[in-house]
Each structure stands twice: as structure tokens, then as C-alpha cells.
Amino acid sequence: MRRRLLFAYLLMLAAVLVAVAVPYATSTATRDTQAVFIDQLNDTARFASLAEPALRSGETVMLAAELTRYDELYTVGAAVLDINREVITASREELPLSDDAVQTKIDAGLSGERSGIDQVVWPWEREPLVLVEPVGRGGEVIGVALTVADTEELRAQILRQWSLLATIAVVALGLATLAAVGLARWTLRPVHDLDSVAHDISAGTLDARVPEDEGPAELRRLASSFNTMADTVTGALTRQRAFVSHASHQLRTPLGVLRLRLENLVDHLRPSGEREHRLAMAETARLAGILSGLLALARAEGTELDLAAVDLDAVVQERVTAWEPMTATHNVRLLRAGGADALVLAAPEALEQVLDALIDNALKFGSPDGEITIGTALSDDGRAEIHVTDDGPGLDEEERAHATERFWRSPAHQNTPGSGLGLAIVHELISACGGDLALLHAEPHGLDARIRLRISPTGPPGNTESPLHAALPDTSRRPPEGSADGPPDAPVPVRPGR
């Protein structure tokens, strides 16, 4: 934008310079041409007055001597022609008397017309300046006197003046460019600050604000309005997150009490009520998962994660080992493939939460007695990739586009336990780590959840403790619902839903 504004400034300035310089250059060439024309015309008229008695008497010796001295002094050729166009005398032999332009002037002179100022000598034109004066008295024309001047000196003089004018214009344009650069920077500084702050806010730095004391008054008002809007939006987001967090936290206690009381009713149930009791227990478990997911999502969105160098293969292998007993109880093989052999930038707890959510997702929606493959590799663009692939029915392209939305569930899995928040949390955590999540089609069928993370430029992994450990609820150390015999190390943060 600065370049476009600077271009507009310079374009207007160049237009002004052209509007001033071109008429001035034209008037300079016209003025110098007129000065030379007047001097030469006076000399031509003098030769015509000398030629009149010489033509009548036939004595042309003195006239020829005068023309020769004039030519030697001013290097301007001169000649006298009679009424029959015959050259009576000339200062030199090589005068261009046969040129069409000269013949036209001679015809005009023999008709009694004097040469007028009807031309301007331009630096790129090389034609001589030819002037003709009728010779005669009392309206009788008996010949013409003409002068032919080379315009090289005149053209050089005009060109020098134009060069000086161009130099002044270039210097003025350079000074104006420096002033325009400063003006453009001063004008657009608030716009640059606005763009930078808007980017910071979109990246999660909600307290970023635009300085309100820079630039023109209109942009200062815009900055003030933007800051007011940012305060309003930030306040609304903060209140929304606080509400979700507080509501989720406060509802967990009565929900836990309700679950405990439902469990205490087991000994007092009649056989006909056992089915309804199991359904009520399942619904309370599902509601607890939704509350935990909302709390995790609210805290993940509001937390700036401290990234550290994490051994990707080690974390993946740890989660595979922790989940193998659980997958074995479902007759599902959990396979480890590839190897990145790299340190990635991530919050360690976030990476564990993400892997647990994706493995649980693959376990629920993969094929019975199927396979889940956890693979790591380095991509062509220098990032580390994690692939969690199942061999289930998968999702079509439209469903994959909506799968990371909150509470979204695939129509084919509406009856499968889950909250619809798992993939949304995964997306938020991976984005906070500077990576990206993509849901791809697995061949021949299934879902391939691909995570890409940045490679750490440091050596050994850093501190494995992360603020995320305090930011997220401790839902990662419990087995999946309905799996009381699951291993204590098989965490499932939130039941992801499709």
C-alpha cells in the first residue's frame, strides 16, 4: 500500500512538472528561434536594399563582396536571384537553392511576400533556417535576396537550456520523492500498526492495541474506534470463556453427586429398572465428558502455550505402549510405523492429549478387529508429520471439512458415545503449537488424521513440564468410558465424536 500511495504522489508530481516544464521548454525554443530569426531577417532586408540598385545597373561586384564578408563573419550563406530565378551573386556555391522548401520560399518572395516567423527550431531538426526578402521598389519585384543559416549552434543552445531544465526537474523530483516517502510513512503508519495489531489479535494476543496518537486525524479516529472494538470483542470472548469454564466446572460437582446417587441405587433396583438405570448412568457419563471437553476447550483457547523441544518418536511410542492393552481388549491391533527421528516444537502435554484423542477416535470408529497405525515421518517442506490411520468407513470430503467444528457429529455415528469436541480440541492444541491438522482419506478406506509440527532448532528436548498441564483438566489419566479395566496410562482426554 505504501508503494501505491508513493506512486500516486510521484505520479501527481510528475504531472505537475510536465505541465510546467513542457510549456517552458517550448517557449524557450520559440524565444531563441525568434531572436535568431529577427537578426537574420534584418540582414536579409539589408541585402535586398543593396541588391535593388545592383540589379538595375548590373554592377554586382560590391554586392558580392558584401555577401562574402557576411558569410565569412557569421557563416550564414546569402544570395541574390533575379526575376527569372537566376543567381546573380552568392556567398558560396553549395547553397541548397534547389531544395523544395527553398524553392517555395523563393516563389513567395518573387510574389512580394516577406518571410514570417512560421517555424520553431527544435533540437532534433537539422534543416537550415532560410529567409527570403523581395527586391524591388514601389510594388515592382525584380528579384529576391535570401539567407541560409545553419541551426546547429541554435539547436545546441536550446538543448543546453533544456538539459538545465531537466536537471532542475530531476532534482525537484528527487527532493519531492524524499518528502513523499516521509509523508507516506507518516500517513500509513497507523494503517501498518492496525494491520500488525489485527494480526496479533487473530493470533491470540488479545491485549494488543493500536497507538492513537500517530498519523492524520482521520486515522487516529480509526485507531481509537478499532481499539474500542477490540476491547468490546476481547471482553465478550473473555466473558464467554469464563462462563464456559465456570459453568463446566460448577456443573461437574452436582453431576458427580448425581452419578454417585445413581450408583447407590443399584442395590434398590428391581430387575425391570436395571435397563433404565444403565441408560441414566450412560447419560451422566456422556454429560461429564461434554463438560470436561468444554472446560478443556475454553482453557486451551485462552492459554498461550510455552513450546519446547519434544522427542516426537519417544512421545508417540509412549502413547502406543500405553494404549496397546486397551486396543487388545477390542481385538484391534495398534501398529507403530516409520520414524521421524526429530525434535519438534510442541507443548508436551498437548502432544499427549492430541495423540490420546486421535487414538481413541480411531478405536471407536475404526473397523472391529481392524488396525490402527501410528506413523511419523519428515515431510518435504521440513516439518515432522504424525499420521493416525484407521481402517474404518472413514468420512467423505464434506464431512471431513466439518469434523473439527464443535459438537459436530457424523450422521452415521449419532448413536456412538462422544461429545463432538475431541477433534475441535485437537485442532486448537495443534494450532497453538504452530502446527496444523488435516483429515485425509485413507486407502482403501478409513480416516488418516495427519498432524504437522515444526522442527525444533535446538538440541536436546527442553523442560517437559508445560503450562498446559495446569490449563487442561486432568481427564487424561482415566480410561475410556465403559472400560474400568483399562490401563491407568491409557488416557482419553475427551471422547472425540464424528
Q: Of 37-41, 44-48, 244-248, which range is least confident?
A: 244-248
Which of 28-42, 208-222, 244-258, 343-357 tops mean pLDDT?
Answer: 28-42
Query: In the chain, which residues fall in CATH 3.30.450.20?
Result: 2-155
Query: In the chain, which residues fall in CATH 1.10.287.130?
Result: 204-302
- What average pLDDT does the structure give for the chain? 80
Cα radius of gyration rounded to whole Å, the chain: 48
What nine digits make up the cell of 46?
A: 539589408
Q: Please, which pLDDT band fits residue 296 given cuts at 50, 70 and 90?
A: low
In angstroms, the CA 293 to CA 498 distance is 14
Q: Report the topology of domain 204-302.
A: Helix Hairpins (1.10.287)
Q: Please, which pLDDT band fits residue 102 given cuts at 50, 70 and 90?
A: confident
Read off the pLDDT of each residue in 426-436 and give the average, rounded to a whole number: 85
What share of the chain has pLDDT > 70, as a percent?
A: 85
Q: What's the full length of the chain, in residues?
A: 498
Read off the pLDDT of each residue in 232-240 and give the average, rounded to a whole number: 80
- Is 99 a residue whose pLDDT tops 60? yes
CATH architecture of 306-498: 2-Layer Sandwich (3.30)
- Is 436 a residue whose pLDDT tops 60? yes
- Is 27 a residue whose pLDDT tops 70? yes
Q: Please, which pLDDT band fits residue 190 given cuts at 50, 70 and 90?
A: confident
In angstroms, the CA 345 to CA 405 distance is 25
pLDDT at 440: 92
- Is 276 a residue whose pLDDT tops 90? no
CATH architecture of 2-155: 2-Layer Sandwich (3.30)
**What CA dihedral angle connects 312, 317, 319 and 321, to 10 degrees?**
-170
Read off the pLDDT of each residue in 397-401 and give the average, rounded to a whole number: 86
pLDDT at 375: 92
pLDDT at 347: 76
Whether the CB-CB separation of 212 and 220 falls below 8 Å is answered with yes
Tens-digit pLDDT profile for residues 313-339:
999 998 899 899 888 888 999 999 988
Query: In the chain, which residues fall in CATH 3.30.565.10?
Result: 306-498
CA angle in degrees (0–180, nearest 5) for 248-249-253: 110
Of 250, 235, 248, 251, whose CA–CA distance to 297 is shortest?
Answer: 248
